[in-house]
Amino acid sequence: MQSFTEENYLKVIYHLAEKTNNVQTNAIAEQIQTKPASVTDMIKKLAEKELVDYIKYQGVTLTDKGRHAAVDIVRKHRLWEVFLVDKLNFKWDEVHDVAEELEHIKSVNLIERLDEFLGFPKSDPHGDPIPDKNGRFTKTQFIKLIELKIGDSGTITGVSQHSSAFLKHLEKLGLTLGKQIKISDVTDFDGSVEILIEEKQINISREVAKHILISNNGKN
Amino acid sequence: MQSFTEENYLKVIYHLAEKTNNVQTNAIAEQIQTKPASVTDMIKKLAEKELVDYIKYQGVTLTDKGRHAAVDIVRKHRLWEVFLVDKLNFKWDEVHDVAEELEHIKSVNLIERLDEFLGFPKSDPHGDPIPDKNGRFTKTQFIKLIELKIGDSGTITGVSQHSSAFLKHLEKLGLTLGKQIKISDVTDFDGSVEILIEEKQINISREVAKHILISNNGKN
DNA sequence: AAAATTTTTTAGATTTACCTAAAAATAAAA
DNA sequence: TTTTATTTTTAGGTAAATCTAAAAAATTTT
Ligand SMILES: [Mn+2]
Ligand SMILES: [Mn+2]
Ligand SMILES: [Mn+2]
Ligand SMILES: [Mn+2]
């Protein structure tokens, strides 16, 4: 059984490992909002418990055991997010911090019944997949909106940024999950993207377009 | 803001204060499953934060601030219990430990929306009253089943023992909240009580009868 | 290849919540 | 009212998770 803190480290390492194989001390420190020295201490402990493989100065990778534990926390996090949005009417930008706490409640029973109560959802309010109780899930095929060309279309199925500011912004623009969009123009000057959504034309910045994930995209 | 641990102390002190005005160090230690020396340490901290009044060797009493905090945790605990039973199909003997963790999640928003989602319940699965968001609740008038005389009747509205073993036992006997009962006999030999419930006669031990709370009782 | 920079680790402290063992205060019994 | 027993506190220490400052290793730049 892991502590609250260990679980947070495992989850952060898991997410960082999606980008690079060897996860660096500084990267973890930044995510956890702590100092690199503290991370080194914790890494040693996780290595001791065989949750990570660790070579001094080379960063860490999760062991199977560690990845399993991490996925389990991700599962809990996302299920709680679904609960908050579907049942308690939270907005998608309000759920993260609360789920960050709820994910650490220890009860196998609880999470399985919650899963059932929610109808075994496949993805969370941000479009991220929810692992099943065996830790299995399929990585959905996304393409960043910014990578689409004029005339391309698709469905908004995820975001790669979870900050409240960003999500609120999308909400205001009507850019929510499931919406159909089509690229009508890309501005030369600032790289901003003109998109057609529900018969309306809107303009979004490059920065925004980078973090919107599109699926079912049809090339023109 | 209190820590997880401080919250547990406050809640325990609150419950113990229902019996005696001055809550003793040893009593707290027993409830928290810790040593008296540790309790003394924590008491000093709570006194420092003005959550309890403390006179050395005389035990503690909650300040208004402390009681408020305690009632807030009790509210959360009981609302989560309702959630687990009503929505996730937990049995009344399965909820305590999970609620013990859930009660510490910090989000005003969360608990108010949960309250609404549950339909603003007035009591938890064990018949205990749920304080409203201002900490107000009415102490229901109970009488212990053991105190009833032959011919008296009433409704089961609470229990004064929350152990899983006890609750499972009641469940098996059909002695659940809301059931109408009538005392048909009291055995001289062992003080066990013969009761009439849903046209059936059952016999319960003195020990069990002590922890069943009855309301709307009509004297014969 | 040296120098400069960045990253990571070590050393030594701090805080929180515990603990044991022993002393002090209070309460109960003789 | 002593003596005895119980309760509570103090003193000193441990483990988890942090921190700062400084040393060491790795990487990048010149
Ligand atoms: Mn977390
Ligand atoms: Mn999410
Ligand atoms: Mn608790
Ligand atoms: Mn209860």
CATH number at residue A212: 2.30.30.90
pLDDT, one tens digit per residue, over B120-171 is: 999 999 999 999 999 999 988 899 999 999 999 999 999 999 999 999 999 9
Calpha distance A167→A94 (Å, rounded): 9
Q: Residue A70 CA to C14 C1' — how many Å? A: 30
**Cβ of residue A38 lies below 7 Å from strand C:** no
**Cβ of residue B169 lies below 7 Å from strand C:** no
Q: Which of B3, B106, B107 to mutate to test the interface with A (most CBs of A within 10 A)?
A: B107
Calpha distance B172→B194 (Å, rounded): 16
- A107–B98 CB contact, under 8 Å: yes
Residue B182: its H or E element = strand B180-186
Q: Is residue A158 part of a domain?
A: yes
Domain boundary among A26, A44, A62: A62
Q: Which residue(s) pair with A154 in the sheet?
A: A181
Chains A–B, number of C-beta pairs less than 8 Å apart: 39
- Give the pairing type, strands B212-218 and B153-159: antiparallel
Global pTM reads 0.94
DSSP B123: B
Side-chain-facing half-sphere of A15: CA atoms under 13 Å: 17
pLDDT, one tens digit per residue, over B19-54 is: 999 999 999 999 999 999 999 999 999 999 999 999
Determine the pLDDT at residue A220: 58
Count of structural domains, chain B: 2
**Cβ of residue A216 lies below 7 Å from strand C:** no
Q: What is the token pair recorded at A178?
A: 């499931």
For residue A219, what pLDDT band results from cuts at 50, 70 and 90?
low
Strand order in the sheet with A200-204: A143-144, A212-218, A153-159, A180-186, A193-197, A200-204
pLDDT, one tens digit per residue, over A152-207 is: 999 999 999 999 999 999 999 999 999 999 999 999 999 999 999 999 999 999 99
Range of the domain at B178: 143-218
Fill in the amino acid letter for B62: L
Domain boundary among A28, A46, A62: A62
Q: Is residue A189 part of a domain?
A: yes
CB A151 within 8 A of CB A218: no
Q: CA B79, B85, B87 angle in degrees (round to 5)?
A: 90
Q: How far is A118 from chain B (nearest CA, A)?
A: 10
Calpha distance A37→B79 (Å, rounded): 41
